[in-house]
Amino acid sequence: MSKVRVLVVDDFEPFRRFICSTLGKKPELQIVAEASDGLEAVHEAEALQPDLIVLDVGLPKLNGIEAARQIRKLSPNSKILFLTQESSTEVAQEAFDLGALGYVVKAHAGTELLLAVTAVLKERKFISCGLSDHFVTAADSRTIDQLPWDETLPSLVPGESKISPRHEVEFYSDDAAFVNGFAHFIEAALKAGNSVIAVVTGLHRASLLQRLQEREIDVRASIERGSYVCVDVEEMLAAFMRNDLPDPTRFFKVAGELITTGARATVGTQSRVSVCGECAPILWAQGKTDAAVQAEQLCNQLTKRYDIDILCGFTWNSFHCDEDKQMFQKICSG
């Protein structure tokens, strides 16, 4: 079987590594070149005539939309799949108007990228979750691939909170600072009438209990009400990991059930579920970088499905360069 030749274009090198690593899981895909700006992408496309181009929008020198416009003329048989931070329906529509077949928002890349590639190579459109409703019509609904969200996530009656859900990452100087940061997050959430789900190591679980008691938080009462649930991170990972990567269906099932249960223990109409955890940090510390990135992206999707806040905590010594920290900040802010 001949290989599908792929050109990967993204100006953020760590994320470009993630794309190449993810595509590498499909043996029929061959990365023939990488590019970090729009002009380079146009030149590589003209020279190599790749079968598939995975293209960012926010590129230096020439943005992805303009690059794609030129590529369509110079390499007309190349299929274009946009993978971008840009979640504007107008930009997505422009991408499809100029001939792209796929549009994936980076926050969803962990679960959608390979699905999108499969769809695009079959000449089917793929539209990222959250954007699909703006494009699906009676005429084209049979040609658009998307994730069956209603089948993978438990239902939860939306709250009436007017506070936008948040997914944040914090970097702590050491273990003590980590515990203090999580304790502050938990204390503020419980005092607001929220329920809290903490996914942490056994050592952090004991330290958090002690720190919250020192702050005069009635942890025992919160546990009995179900408003404070502490889950062992290793057990959580075992529940949704498969072949050293997060399985989206398992992840959404396990996380969704926890969130649904937590929602029943909130107090007040404006209360919500708050989650703090270290799944991605543990995976990162184990050297499973792709799995850590995908775990954060899946958490991003949880905040879009449920009215929740998520805090993910790393310690500084987990990272060897600022680019890695910036990568997680970009993912969580997406």
Enter the tokens of residue 16.
Answer: 């470009």
Give the pLDDT confidence score for residue 124 in this predicted structure.
85
Q: Tell the residue number behind the tokens 């090198």, with chain if given.
A: 13
pLDDT tens per residue across span 55-74: 999 999 999 999 999 999 99
CATH topology of domain 166-333: Rossmann fold (3.40.50)
Picking from 258, 300, 309, 299, the residue whose alpha carbon sits closest to that of residue 279 is 299
3-state secondary structure of 120: helix
pLDDT at 316 over 90: no
Domain locations in the chain? 4-147, 166-333
Helix or strand run (H / E) with residue 88: none
What pLDDT is attached to residue 262? 84
Q: List the structure tokens of 45.
A: 């496309």
pLDDT of residue 285: 86
- Identify the band that residue 333 occupies on the pLDDT scale cut at 50, 70 and 90: low
Per-residue pLDDT tens over the stretch 153-178: 344 434 444 456 688 888 888 889 99
Alpha-carbon 24 to chain mean position: 19
* pTM tops 0.85, yes or no: no
Six token digits for residue 77: 């048989």
C-beta separation of 14 from 323 below 8 A: yes
Long-range contacts of 240-248 (CB under 8 A, 24+ apart): 241/291, 244/288, 244/291, 245/288, 245/290, 245/291, 245/294, 246/110, 246/291, 246/294, 246/295, 246/298, 248/110, 248/111, 248/147, 248/152, 248/298
Over the chain, what is the mean pLDDT?
A: 83
Classify domain 4-147 by CATH number: 3.40.50.2300
Q: Is the per-residue pLDDT at 192 higher than 80?
A: yes
Structure tokens at 206: 């004991």
pLDDT band at 152 (very low <50, low <70, confident <90, very high): very low
Across the chain, where does the E strand assignment appear?
4-9, 29-35, 52-55, 79-84, 102-105, 125-127, 144-145, 166-172, 195-200, 228-232, 241-242, 245-246, 273-277, 308-315
Helix, strand and coil in the chain, % to nearest 5:
50, 20, 30
Q: How far is CA 225 from CA 73, 160, 219, 266, in A?
A: 63, 22, 10, 9
Task: Determine the pLDDT at residue 151.
Answer: 38
pLDDT in tens, 10-37: 998 888 998 998 899 889 999 999 999 9
d(CA 299, CA 311): 10
Check residue 302 and give its pLDDT: 83
With cut-offs at 50, 70 and 90, classify the pLDDT of residue 137.
very low
- pLDDT score, position 139: 31
Alpha-helical segments (H) within 192-240: 202-214, 219-225, 233-240
Say if 4-147 and 166-333 have the same CATH topology. Answer: yes
